[in-house]
Amino acid sequence: EAYVQTVPPNTGPVFGFGVENVHRGGKAWTLVEGDIHPQAERSAQNSVNRAIWNTTRENIGIYLEGMVVRLFGEKGDRVVLYMDDFIVEGDVPDAAEYARVVDRRWEPVRKQVEEKLDEWATALAEIGDALNKVTPAAADRAGFETVSANLAAARKTLVAVRTQGYIRKDDHGPMEDTIATLRFAARNLTADRNDLLEGPGGRTRCYVVKPTSSTMILPDTEPVPGELSTALTVTAARGEYEPVSFVLRPESDLADLRLKATALTHQNTQATIPVGAVDIKAVKCWYQAEGAWVNKKRTGPGRVLIPELLLNDDGLVKVDTTEKRNYLKLRFAEGDRYIGVEDIGREGEDVHPAGNKVAWPIAKLPIRDADTLQPLAITAGANKQFWVTIHVPSDVPAGVYDGRIELHTADGTLGALTLSLTVLPFDLSAPGTFYDPAEPFAVNAYYNGRLTRRPEHRAVICSDLKNEGQLRQDLVNFYAHGILPTVNQMPDDTELLSRYLEIFNEAGFAGKPVYFTSDDAGFSTGSPTGAAELAALSEKVKKVMAVARQHGVPEVYVYGLDEATDERQKAQRAAWQVVHEAGAKVWVAASAGTFENMGDLLDVCNLGS
């Protein structure tokens, strides 16, 4: 293995080359060789993509730091390794000249780093000045000590980053989020607020927060990354789904809390947007096993509490924060009962194998959310986030619409949040690429749902196997979020594929291309080279194309070998050519070398970081 280091330094740039193993007992000499340069370039590009903020490949230096021979064995093994002629071939630059080249490459980024660090320093100083004006009474109510500690930690991070001379992406995002949160906290602590919710049981603080954010809002998050306010504002075009979110934190326990939206009324006309266009859901925090992804980083190990579910029935999931366990409500005819998520399958439920997944019979695992938001409880001092989605009708006049979200408890009325929607005076055009708006653009998501002929698979809960109702709900949800899901329906069963495409069109995707995936039920080009195999692939593509045309599908994309490299990548050329000749196109998640080796045959590239 070669150990390549970048300037600025990045972690984990070790890579292997040559043969993978010299087997136990081998007595013959084995030559292990490889070209270090291409892999070293990938290490440098990885620094740009994943590690070092605001850089291009031209800004990154790179050098070979060492070589590693890695030995694997079992306890008690004795290894005798003979190594001869250890040679690294290449030009060795003059150290001083290399340092000058690296410094020259880095200079444009250095200026931007200094500007960003100065910007952060100014922001933290302003926040500190604001906190110095906080009265003791306000400090007691709003976690002044926590805010001050977070500010001190941010200043310490800033010093460390300035010392190292570059900004890691792992530092940039969290620092931006921290500054935004502290700014909210400073305003919330220093402002004279008269718009808090007041009820018979006491006061409830309301924070308007970003619906999507890299800062998690947990029950004990302090400070809350939002503005202390009861005014919700939304701007959207006709036909759009637009979210807004808020957090409630009561000073005393709230029981039987009910939230109810009103219709939205135009300020200057009699036009209204019906209450059904305003959807309110509770944000549920629950545990993810073995860590969770937060702000481009995986936290863990162990179970991590994360805000992930949007529920109408907040009680559908119960969370034990002491044991770090999730419990699901099962809705049996004789009454509801809870089961631990990790206990599913331990009580004798029948499980149907479904490829590399399992399918749980709905009769044994009846999990169902309520149709509308149900009453819920909030513990004193805990944060509870709510997510509001407004679907703007396609035929309403532009202008400002006003409404309310009313809050009631078992003790009486808690108050209301105002909801102001500005409908823009234009309609959005179809999305296009940034380099040419005339070229279509789509947001894709890998989706494995598919129809099945097996009766026992039509009444199950499974990530893959769906009955028609489940499939329709999934596709409608994708459409509402502007996402074009991939298709994982088996192409061999053309009748079932035809039914899938009917539902696909009815959900809103009529006239959209179809992107197949290569999961166990999908459609992959593979890498056949024999005449018979290529002929079979051609016939398969033609059958799929015939079904697609019946449903008005303009383009069909067959998936290549996922993230293939080197010879495995090149081995697909004959298959991709056949796919094109049969009338379809090719797309795939790319790896290094895809453009050079396959670019002339690749129609859509799924290019990751």
- How do residues 176-197 score in pLDDT, each as one tens digit? 999 999 999 988 887 666 557 8
Residue 609 has pLDDT above 50, yes or no: no
Whole-number pLDDT of residue 39: 78
Q: Indicate whether 417 and 500 sit together in one domain.
A: no
Q: Indicate whether 390 and 487 sit together in one domain.
A: no
* Lowest-pLDDT choice from 165-179, 389-403, 427-441, 575-589: 427-441
- Is 341 within a domain? no
Q: How confident is the model at residue 346 (pLDDT cuts 50, 70, 90)?
A: low
Rounded distance, CA 182 to CA 124, Å?
Answer: 8
Percentage of residues in the chain having pLDDT higher than 70 = 91
- Is 110 within a domain? yes
Query: Which CATH number does the domain housing residue 232 bear?
Result: 2.60.40.10
- Is 378 within a domain? yes
User: Angle between the 494-504 and 468-480 helix axes, to the nearest 10 degrees?
Assistant: 40
Mean pLDDT, rounded, for 537-554: 97
Contacts of 597 (CB under 8 A, 6+ apart): 569, 570
- Is 353 within a domain? no
Regarding predicted confidence, which is higher, 347 or 513? 513
Backbone φ and ψ for 247, nearest 5 degrees, come out as: -125, 135
- Is 584 within a domain? yes
Q: What length does the chain have?
A: 609
- Is 256 within a domain? yes
Q: Indicate whether 147 and 209 sit together in one domain.
A: no
518 token code pair: 């290569």
Q: Indicate whether 395 and 460 sit together in one domain.
A: no
Q: Indicate whether 396 and 496 sit together in one domain.
A: no
- Is 436 within a domain? no
Whole-number pLDDT of residue 151: 97
Q: Indicate whether 528 and 576 sit together in one domain.
A: yes
Domain range spanning residue 119? 103-190
Rounded distance, CA 448 to CA 314, Å?
Answer: 27
Q: What is the DSSP secondary structure assignment for residue 430, as one 8-state letter? A: P
Q: Indicate whether 140 and 223 sit together in one domain.
A: no
Peptide bond into 8 cis (omega under 30): yes
Q: How confident is the model at residue 89 (pLDDT cuts 50, 70, 90)?
A: confident
Mean pLDDT, rounded, for 168-182: 93
- Is 195 within a domain? no
Q: Are 183 and 123 in contact (CB under 8 A)?
A: yes
Q: Indicate whether 73 and 125 sit together in one domain.
A: no
Q: Indicate whether 396 and 472 sit together in one domain.
A: no
Q: Indicate whether 518 and 581 sit together in one domain.
A: yes
- pLDDT tens for 428-481 read 988 888 889 888 788 899 999 999 887 776 778 888 889 999 999 999 999 988
Nearest to 60 by CA among 105, 12, 92, 95: 105
Q: Indicate whether 461 and 402 sit together in one domain.
A: no
Q: Indicate whether 415 and 517 sit together in one domain.
A: no
Q: For the chain, what is the domain count? A: 4
